[in-house]
């Protein structure tokens, strides 16, 4: 038991979970409604999209690379899929998802192509494709918003699907959204890939030492290509969840908010920006903390403008902390060597 606790406190995730518990405690003290099923389920539903993006971003970070184009992929997938449905006067959710995922695959493979073929720095490539994808969307697909009246019923209905309901405090039952179900499927699949496939171990190996991974026989290019495609698919799915959540589509949404939120979540979750280290659990806790913080700033008496400040602060402090931690560990090692 003691060893178990000791092991527990070695993990970044434990501290993150404690912070969330304390924060939730404070919020419950201020507003007892915070701990209600209604609020918790709604919080989970609202953060599913961000969480799915964060899973993709984690994979990229694990290899020591970066992809900043995913918000542009997500909004492109959403907007192109929905306008196509409207234009065809179709009410098929399956078609919408097929288009969104197709766009994700296409855009992901464009990223993958430039990254693997020309060995370009991934930040520059994806900064470029971010603008390409978004610019293409505005120029060739449209700039107008899609309001609730135009939105196909299938998409609106999709946003209201619950996997199960529990009795709420009032007379209305509280639903557990399908969004969270989709997130759970994504998490299970990704966990399986990372933990139990050679592809997943290859992702960690590349993050540890790309040259060593090559020498060990991993096909580094193929793995990188896979990751960018995977990020594309997840972004496509997120795009559809987003429009079904707010019942409103605007080609300038997602690109305006998700990039830093996702980066902050993953960094806060303990992923090393230089690659090789990071976990799904940490990432999910990171998302949870960021979203809770954003949604409740007003409740603790701060204006919502603080949100932007906090997200920025978290990125800087988070990166500094992991860096300092790594440095401390290496100095500790030196002292150990010396004292022997």
Q: Using the minimum distance from each CB to another protein, give the nearer residue, 138 or 209.
A: 209
The nearest distance, CB 338 to another protein, in angstroms, is 5
Q: Does residue 325 bind another protein (CB under 8 A)?
A: no
Question: Which sign does the torsion angle of CA 181, 186, 187, 188 carry?
Answer: positive
Q: Give the x-and-dash track for 280-319 against another protein (CB under 8 A).
A: ----------------------------------------
Retrieve residue 273's tokens: 């920006």
Nearest to 80 by CA among 167, 150, 138, 164: 138
Nearer to another protein, 94 or 336 (CB): 336
**Which of residues 206 and 290 has its CB atom nearest to another protein in the complex?**
206
* DSSP conformation letters of 49-109: HHHHHHHHHHHHHHTT-----HHHHHHHHHHHHHHHHHHHT---HHHHHHHHHHHHHHHHH
Contact 223, 203 (CB under 8 A): yes
72 Cα distance to chain centroid = 14
**Cα distance between residue 47 and residue 272, in whole Å:** 22
Smallest distance from the beta carbon of 218 to another protein, in angstroms?
6
Which phi and psi (to 5°) does residue 167 adopt? Answer: -70, 130
Which residue number, 58 or 290, has a Cβ lying nearer to another protein? 58
Q: Cβ–Cβ contacts within 10 Å for residue 43, how many? A: 16
Shortest Å, Cβ 270 to another protein? 13
Residue 339 C-beta: closest distance to another protein, Å: 7
Min. distance of Cβ 123 from another protein in angstroms? 19
3-class DSSP assignment, residue 238: helix
Site string for another protein, 190-219 (x = CB under 8 A): -----xxxxxxxx-xx-xxx-xxx-xxxx-
**CB 322 → another protein: shortest distance, Å?**
13
Between CA 67 and CA 210 the distance in angstroms is 17
Binding of residue 269 to another protein (CB under 8 A): no
Residue (119 or 338) nearer to another protein, CB = 338
Scanning 117-125, 159-167, 312-320, 330-338 for contacts with another protein by CB under 8 A, the matching segment is 330-338
Q: Report the Cα–Cα distance between both ends of the chain, in Å, rounded.
A: 30
Count of positions on this chain that bind another protein (CB under 8 A): 27
Task: Tell me how far apart the alpha carbons of residues 235 and 105 are, in angstroms, rounded to a whole number.
Answer: 9
| Contact code string over 227-266 relative to another protein, x by CB under 8 A | ----------------------------------------
Q: In the range 94-153, which residues lie near another protein by CB under 8 A?
A: none
DSSP classification of residue 173:
E
Q: Which of 67, 277, 282, 286 binds another protein (CB under 8 A)?
A: 277
Does residue 340 belong to the site contacting another protein (CB under 8 A)?
yes
Of 145 and 197, which has the nearer Cβ to another protein? 197
The one among 276, 302, 306, 310 contacting another protein by CB under 8 A: 276
- Phi, psi torsion values for 301, nearest 5 degrees: 90, 20
Strand partners, 158: none
3-class secondary structure, 199: helix
| Closer Cβ to another protein, 70 or 218, answer by number | 218
Looking at the DSSP assignment, which residues form a beta bridge with residue 176?
A: 164
List contacts with another protein (CB under 8 A): 195-202, 204-205, 207-209, 211-213, 215-218, 276-277, 333, 337-340
């Amino acid at each position: 038991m003691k060893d178990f606790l000791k092991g527990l406190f070695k993990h970044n995730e434990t501290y993150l979970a404690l912070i969330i518990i304390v924060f939730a405690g404070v919020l419950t003290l201020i507003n007892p409604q915070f701990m209600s099923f209604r609020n918790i389920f709604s919080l989970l539903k609202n953060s599913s999209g961000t969480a799915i993006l964060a899973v993709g971003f984690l994979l990229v970070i694990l290899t020591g690379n970066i992809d900043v184009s995913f918000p542009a992929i997500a909004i492109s997938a959403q907007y192109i899929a929905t306008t196509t449905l409207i234009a065809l006067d179709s009410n098929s959710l399956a078609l919408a998802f097929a288009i969104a995922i197709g766009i994700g695959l296409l855009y992901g493979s464009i990223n993958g192509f430039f990254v693997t073929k020309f060995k370009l720095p991934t930040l520059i490539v994806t900064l470029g494709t971010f603008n390409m994808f978004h610019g293409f969307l505005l120029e060739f697909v449209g700039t107008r918003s899609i309001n609730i009246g135009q939105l196909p019923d299938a998409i609106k209905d999709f946003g209201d699907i619950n996997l199960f309901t529990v009795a709420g405090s009032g007379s209305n039952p509280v639903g557990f959204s399908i969004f969270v179900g989709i997130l759970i499927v994504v998490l299970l699949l990704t966990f399986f890939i990372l933990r139990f496939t050679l592809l997943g171990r290859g992702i960690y190996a590349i993050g540890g030492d790309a040259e060593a991974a090559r020498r060990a026989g991993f096909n580094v290019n193929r793995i990188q290509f896979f990751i960018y495609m995977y990020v594309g698919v997840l972004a496509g799915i997120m795009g559809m969840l987003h429009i079904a959540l707010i019942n409103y589509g605007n080609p300038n949404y997602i690109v305006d908010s998700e990039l830093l939120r996702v980066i902050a979540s993953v960094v806060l979750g303990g992923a090393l920006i230089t690659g090789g280290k990071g976990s799904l659990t940490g990432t999910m806790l990171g998302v949870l903390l960021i979203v809770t913080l954003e949604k409740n700033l007003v409740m603790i008496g701060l204006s919502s403008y603080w949100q932007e400040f906090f997200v920025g602060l978290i990125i800087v402090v988070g990166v500094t902390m992991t860096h300092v931690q790594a440095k401390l560990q290496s100095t500790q090692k030196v002292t150990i060597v010396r004292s022997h």
